[in-house]
Homo-oligomer: A and B are copies of this chain.
Amino acid sequence: MSAKINIPKDHPRYRAMMIRENMIKGCENKVVAPAGLIAQGRGEAFDYLIGEKTEPFALDAIKAAACAFILAEHPVISVNGNVAQLVPDWLVKLSEVSGAPLEINLFYREPGREEAILKVLEKAGAKRVLGVSGRRETIKELSSDRRIVDPEGIYKADMVFVPLEDGDRTEALAAMGKRVVTVDLNPLSRTPNKAHVAIIDNITRALPLLAEYIISYKNKKREELEALYSSYSNRETLRKSLVFMAERLISLSREI
């Protein structure tokens, strides 16, 4: 279906529409689940509300997330279909700069999906991907297929990066004592509210910035990183993002 669409490059929403087409292609290739397309749409709406830009509240969270990555002993990057389709290159880059392995962890375990996602990551340059080796541990806090995790990855991790995830999983990981960092465009969903650090931004903008901050923060002293992380308030970030959206809606209402 995607072949039919020719989006002119000067279209004001060119970038958003190209991302949309990419996700549809991902669904045809089994990387993205149909429910993932609906989730993408929800994200699009909230991205529109924040003006499709990385706002200060997101930058604060990105900085705290960079600290969390560097401070962790065993950080892990959890990868689902949407994330793999949206930012495969940046997942590999983030893994390289942070030393955190990638682990595929899916809600919808259809036959062939794990393999399709693995292929996308390997094509982007991933050398080693966890969650596909057959070695499995179970997180008792969860009931769905996502409870199956890699003993070398999420199971032993002290910090888990779970972008575009659902609330149950975020809550379960936090309950296990792990530090949880997420990216989610909807500040009202349970995921950002259950995470320790929630980046309210489009993952295609947030991941390059996160990699950049990890590189620059690596030179900082541990105490400095800890102080920076402690000064971050996730609640405050979520509140700021909601107020920002509200103010933008009011200002847009004046243009109608």
Taking Cβ atoms with an 8 Å cutoff, the residues of A that contact B are 1, 4, 20, 23-24, 27-28, 33-35, 37-46, 48, 108, 110, 186-188, 193, 235, 238-239, 242-243, 245-247, 249-250, 252-253, 256
Q: Which 5 A-B pairs have the closest CB atoms?
A: A41-B41, A45-B45, A242-B253, A37-B37, A38-B41
B253 touches A108 (CB 8 A): no
* Stoichiometry (number of copies): 2
A45 touches B34 (CB 8 A): no
Contacts of A238 in B (CB 8 A): 253, 256
Query: Could you tell me if B33 and A1 are in contact, using CB atoms closer than 8 angstroms?
Result: yes
Looking at chain A's contact residues, the main secondary structure is: helix
In the bound complex, do residue A28 and residue B38 qualify as a contact, i.e. CB atoms below 8 Å apart?
Answer: no
Please indicate the chain B residues that have their CB under 8 angstroms from the CB of A235 in the complex: 256
Contacting pair A38 B40 (CB below 8 A): yes
Q: Which among B23, B46, B188, B243 is the interface contact of A250 at CB below 8 angstroms?
A: B243
A1 near B108: Cβ-Cβ < 8 Å: yes
Contacts of A1 in B (CB 8 A): 33-35, 108, 110
- Closest B residue, CB atoms, query A33: B1
Q: Could you tell me if B48 and A188 are in contact, using CB atoms closer than 8 angstroms?
A: yes
